[in-house]
Structure 1
């Protein structure tokens, strides 16, 4: 009897261990599309920071905030923005043991905020719905064909989602007919609580540009303190829907006041502040990353040409070749 009981506990432990391994944190990079194909030599820098996921982002283009036509998968786009490019990136990443979240995105002319995409007539809404269905199902089918683990059904489309909730529920059902992996939606940090279809998805996706600190150079402790109210809010939403939180995007620029409005991508900001970027990331990792309701995230951004980006003169989001890269590496390793 004792031997049988011991064997039962041993098998239970093994099964529990396997379950824990299946729930490994998603330590991801947001892989920026390039005009060129991905080369094997460009993979080691991703593995060097212990990233186990990459977000691949093919693009569709819209002329204005009230225009319903979506142009995508054309010869005029960069290779990495197309189906062929996404497929090539995925194949090479998979070959090197890096899983993928496919995250098709909309770009509106002059960089208008996609959350404000809103039609002026029922006719235009219907056309937009048909155009978006064609766009997203194209990539859902590609995600299934390439065995992508996670598929993101949209990014920061607040008005589209709020104005047409029935459409989105039907669209998710259509996606599930052609794609069998995990699903999420990338809601903006101030949108995610109002998304009406979390119950149909596997992860609550958040583009996590929460305002954290108004200090010029916040310390790690200030960053952690700034995360505490958002942490409670995220936990509450996760428990409400019984779904894990996934940061579909997160990150900070290497500028002064980087935690005040982390979504600000204004290229005219002149300052360079590596300490602010590093401390804000450290605060996020220490305060959020190991929470049981948190699935992981994808840092914004990671470029293919690692040796030519980031560095001492760059004040944009990428951590590449900056002190922040070591923070990402330590967090992802642990």
Structure 2
């Protein structure tokens, strides 16, 4: 029997919806809505080239002659429905020259690292490409993993006991002009764009279903296409191929400014809420800052919401722009660690489904301290204070939103 799907607003918990007093603001050629008196530009850009030049950070140089892949040393506490999703976003730009043995080795390396943090979940984000903002087609790029290689990585994470999410992410490096955002795309022919997108997604939906992934994120941060009626048939077709949860990840600005009208039953938020406080702000002050943003949409528990991305640079001034992927100011590990502690507190107090930290890069060794001359300040792997905060979060006594509300 076909599963009933409702517009997202209809499945949010019974909460008090607060009115948003917003004014239009034009960034480039796309209108955004902002809270009156708080014009904060979008900064979630995920541009690998800008944050991690070739050979930078703790990236492990690999060749086809990779060492034998180690076995998964530990197994996570198996996630069950209703438990919080404690995880990280693993961003994978595949290199076809890397052997399958190398891919397996890296997957096991990350599985062991995540289990060591007491994670029970992992989300695999990987790029796909388009020619420009107005193109009617999307496709695999040179760095897009094949469905078969994705399936093998999912299998390895399952061996480690981790809940898995599959998350295609439009590569912004292929958009024009430079630094254009995926949420501003304007395909000239939407019929053609959605047909192309479904064709691209189909083998990945099949791979995810074959390896029993728990969630498939049908799209991420596509503000300009939210509410398009084409999503109804696309999600219908996806649910025929994938028996798990089909979700959508909204950008934080779209979430707080109005309804996110997508035909899915679960919503993730790429949550980079700016909090205008000093570097010495207390954890509670940061919690209050997050609650002020969330209360613009709804007060009280949010059991149908997952923080799909939470991250911040380990540097001075980061609270003002958590999603700044480009700037490299003086390193301040405490800023990142306190932010993680605050976000975890918000997730628990608002009875959310969980959180995924942005991010770990697939080719990195997460056990190596990042090279702050080259690596992104948002990297958390290898930063002891941040890892301590993550472990404290993942070992807390929070039981989750409950089996009747969480997928």
Same fold (TM over 0.5): yes
Q: Is the 8 A contact 1:141 1:179 kept in 2?
A: yes
**Where does structure 1 differ by over 6 angstroms across 4 or more consecutive aligned residues?**
none
Deviation at 1:21, TM superposition (A): 5.3
Distance 1:21 1:140, change over 3 A: closer
Residue equivalent to 1:319: 380
Q: When you count helix as a share of all residues, which structure comes out higher?
A: 1
Q: How many residues align?
A: 299
**In the alignment, is the contact (CA less than 8 A) between 2:316 and 2:329 conserved in 1?**
no
Q: 1:27 to 1:170 in 2, by over 3 A?
A: same
> Counterparts in 2 of 1:150-165, with a 5 A limit?
150-162=215-227, 165=228
Q: 2:183 is matched with which residue: 115, 125, 135? A: 115
Moved more, 206-215 or 144-153: 206-215
Which of 40, 44, 53 does residue 112 from structure 2 map onto?
Answer: 44
Q: What's the TM-score once normalised by structure 2's chain length?
A: 0.68
- Give me the TM-score of the superposition, normalised by structure 1: 0.82
The higher-RCO structure (CA 8 Å, 6+ apart) is 2
CA deviation profile, 1:233-259 (whole Å, cap 9, x unmatched): 4544977xxx61011111111122212
Q: Distance in 1 between matches of 2:171 and 2:165?
A: 19
Q: Is the 8 A contact 2:247 2:264 kept in 1?
A: yes
Alignment counterpart, residue 90 of structure 1, candidates 154, 160, 170: 154
Show structure 1 runs of 5+ residues with no match: 1-19
Alignment of 1:13-92 (within 5 A): 22-33=81-92, 34-35=94-95, 36=98, 37-39=103-105, 40-72=108-140, 76-77=142-143, 81-92=145-156
Equivalent-residue separation in structure 1 for 2:90 and 2:204 (angstroms)? 16
1:77–1:312 Cα change, 3 Å: closer
**Would the alpha carbon gap of residues 332 and 160 (structure 1) be closer, same or farther in structure 2, given more than 3 Å must change?**
same
Equivalent residue in structure 2 for 1:195, among 241, 245, 260: 260
Q: Deviations over 1:211-236 (max 9, x none)?
A: 12342343212212212213434544
Shift of 1:309: 5.3
Q: Is the 8 A contact 2:113 2:366 kept in 1?
A: yes
Matched, 1:105 2:165: no
Distance 2:115 2:240 in 1: 33
Deviation at 1:42, TM superposition (A): 3.8
- Equivalent in 277, 282, 287 of residue 346 of structure 2: 287
Task: For 1:237 and 1:168, locate their aligned partners in 2 and report how far apart those are by CA, in whole Å.
Answer: 29
Q: Which residue of 1 aligns with 2:212?
A: 147
Distance, in Å, in 2 between the alignment partners of 1:144 and 1:279 is 37
Deviations along 1:186-229, one digit per CA (max 9) or x if unpaired, are 100011243212xx423221111111234234321221221221
